[in-house]
Amino acid sequence: MRDLLSNKYLTLLFRVILGVVFCYAAVDKIVHIDQFARAIYFYHIAPGWTVNVMAVVMPMVEMIAGICLILGIMPRGAATLIVAMLVMFIVALTIVYVRGVDINCGCFSVSSRGKESAVGLIWRDLLLLLMGLQVLFLGRDFLSLQRLRK
């Protein structure tokens, strides 16, 4: 079972899926920083003074970590950051779900059309989290730039 889970092709697949998802999710937020700040604010979780800092930095972390995962540059560090962000998203969405607040999650799009149910989003993030944990703890650096350089 462990051999299957630590299969190098599975790791590569998960790296690409996570990388593409995070890069795609980052684009709209990087372009519309102002609207992403609103989306963070309306979670009513982060202290007001941290909202803009998060809106400026978080999409870039998603983008850079996503690119690093796809190309296999600093894959452990990138996977750690992506796992940490996914845990943060799951906690935030759970709080929103428990509170019963209907918000625009700001996950992939900052427009109100991007609304999805919190439960569906939590399941999706849990699935991505499992992929991230596989890359982090069981993954190998198959087809990574870092390894090819050695």
Partner 1 sequence: MKKPAIEIVVILAISISAGVVNNSVSANRIAWIGSWPSISDAEDDSAWDCLSCVETDPPQLSLGEASALYQNPEVLFLDARFPEEYAEGHIERAYLLPIEATSTDFDAYFNAVKPLLDSSRLIVTYCSGAECESSLFLARYLRDQIGLPNVSIFFGGWRRWENAGLPAAYPNRETETEN
For 150, counting Cβ atoms within 10 Å of its Cβ (0-12 exposed, 13-18 middle, 19+ buried), the class is exposed
Task: Using the minimum distance from each CB to partner 1, give the nearer residue, 77 or 127.
Answer: 77
**How far is Cα 23 from Cα 43, in angstroms, rounded to an integer?**
22
Q: Minimum distance between the CB of residue 68 and partner 1, rounded to whole angstroms?
A: 6
Q: How far is the CB of 126 from partner 1 (least distance, A)?
A: 23
Separation of alpha carbons 2 and 58, rounded Å: 33
Instruction: Compare residues 117 and 127 and give the one whose CB is closer to partner 1.
Output: 117
95-128 burial, b at 16+ Cβ within 10 Å, e below that, comes to: ebeeeeeebbbbbbbbeeeeeeebeebbebbeeb
**In the complex, least distance from residue 77 CB atom to partner 1, rounded to whole angstroms:** 2
Nearer to partner 1, 12 or 78 (CB): 78
Footprint of partner 1 on this chain (CB under 8 A)?
30-35, 37-39, 41-42, 44, 48-49, 51-53, 55-57, 59-61, 63-65, 68, 74, 76-78, 80-81, 102-104, 111-113, 115
